[in-house]
Amino acid sequence: MDELNEIEKEFDSQLLEIKDEKKLEDVRIAFLGKKGKITNSMSKIREIAVEKRKEFGQKINLIKSKIENSLSSLKEKLENEIIQRKIANEKPIDITLPVKSSTGSLHPRTTLQKEIEDVFVSMGFSIEDGYEVETEFNNFDAVNVPKSHPARDMQDTFWLDNGQLLKTQTSAAQNRILRKYNGTLKAIFPGRCFRNEALDHSHENTFFQIEGMLVDHNVSVANLIYFMKKMLSEVFKTDINIRLRPGFFPFVEPGFEMDATCTFCKGKGCPTCKNSGWLELCPCGMIHPNVFRLAGLDPNVYSGFAFGLGFDRLVMLKTGLDDIRYLNSGNLKVLSQFGVKA
Ligand code: FA5
């Protein structure tokens, strides 16, 4: 019994010395741990004379629960003190104050995409979506690209292990959209494209196109020219000159390359336009009969045009950036100059 009284006294004096959680844990281990004083005394109970065993058991249990309770309420008190200290040190926050730092801005690509979408929507077009992972059928076969076409090679296309691919052109959505409308339609579909390219100031491996299609009866090249001129003039807020050159794309017949006056040199010639005064901007043409057939439409009934605007190059024209690589760089010093507050 004396031994137990000794333990209790020792605990009482150590309890007064506990000022933090570390010390509290040390004391707990010293008394209640595997090799602690209480555990140790409990294991000796068999050595106590039988007539005194009950009294010893009751006493040690009493001391044990006293130690457990004291330590647990002290722990709670210490934790509470820590929280109170933190609160006292915290600077009060007024959540109603206006933010001081910059809230960020929209990427110049996003700003221009919204502008272009607005122009087309005002002309009765709807905005459609495409996938980034596509089937070989949608990206190539459905738009009349022959099996032997070099664009299907590993050098140009990022193929996935499952036989699908990262779409190389927004034209990959043509078949799905033609089927969806199953007749007349006016739609644009912006999207991210991927090509395994050597990078330079006008080539990225990840870039954007805005594709457009208009399908109706008796659509002509004149309609195509009208819509493209209108869109560019709205975007640049001035009359933009365009020219069409013959261009070959398996999904259009006839096919064209549409160039716009170089906005850097106003047509005089500079390194960006390779001194030609023109920037190649937008391949386009009249939708090929095979593309209609592959979408279940009769090319004798329907005609239409399609275009695939190189969107990053348009952003460069609009912002004056002379290197496409800035657009994916995340360089805030460059991009924030053209940003619009979100
Ligand atoms: C096409 O991708 C056709 N699908 C476009 C089309 C649609 C033609 C509908 C006819 C009818 P092309 O490979 O030329 O065509 O790419 C179109 C535009 O995307 C280019 O003029 C260029 O502005 C842009 N572009 C192509 N490759 C890159 C690249 N690596 N980096 C940045 N822009 C690119």
> Which comes out higher in pLDDT, residue 334 or 293?
293
With 80 as the cut, is the pLDDT of residue 103 above it? no
Phi, psi of 127 (to 5 degrees): -100, 125
Q: What is the pTM of this model?
A: 0.71
Percent of residues, the chain, with pLDDT higher than 70 = 98
Q: Which of 174, 244, 249, 284 to mutate to test the pocket of ligand 1 (most atoms within 8 A of CB)?
A: 249
Are 198 and 208 in contact, with CB atoms under 8 Å apart? Answer: no
Residue 154 pLDDT level (bands cut at 50, 70, 90): confident
pLDDT at 342: 55
pLDDT at 324: 93
Alpha-carbon dihedral 221, 222, 223, 227, rounded to 10 degrees: 110
Helix and strand numbers, DSSP H then E, in the chain: 11, 11
Residue 44 pLDDT level (bands cut at 50, 70, 90): confident
pLDDT at 231: 82
Are 213 and 190 in contact, with CB atoms under 8 Å apart? Answer: no
Give the least confident one: 42-51, 76-85, 231-240, 324-333: 231-240
Residue found under tokens 């008190």: 77
Question: What residues are in contact with ligand 1 under a 6 Å CB criterion?
Answer: 169, 171, 195, 197, 203-204, 207, 209, 211, 249, 251-252, 280, 283-285, 306-308, 310, 312-313, 324
Q: Which residues contact residue 280 at a Cβ distance below 8 angstroms, ignoring those fewer than 6 apart?
A: 257, 259, 310, 313
Determine the Cα–Cα distance for residues 149 and 142; give it in Å rounded to an integer.
13
The residue-averaged pLDDT of 183-203 equals: 95
> Which comes out higher in pLDDT, residue 195 or 264?
195
With 60 as the cut, is the pLDDT of residue 277 above it? yes
pLDDT in tens, 311-325: 998 898 888 888 999
State which ligand 1 atom lies nearest to the alpha carbon of 313.
23
Determine the Cα–Cα distance for residues 248 and 246; give it in Å rounded to an integer.
7
DSSP 308-323: EEEHHHHHHHHH----
Quote helix, strand, coil % in the chain, to nearest 5: 45, 20, 35
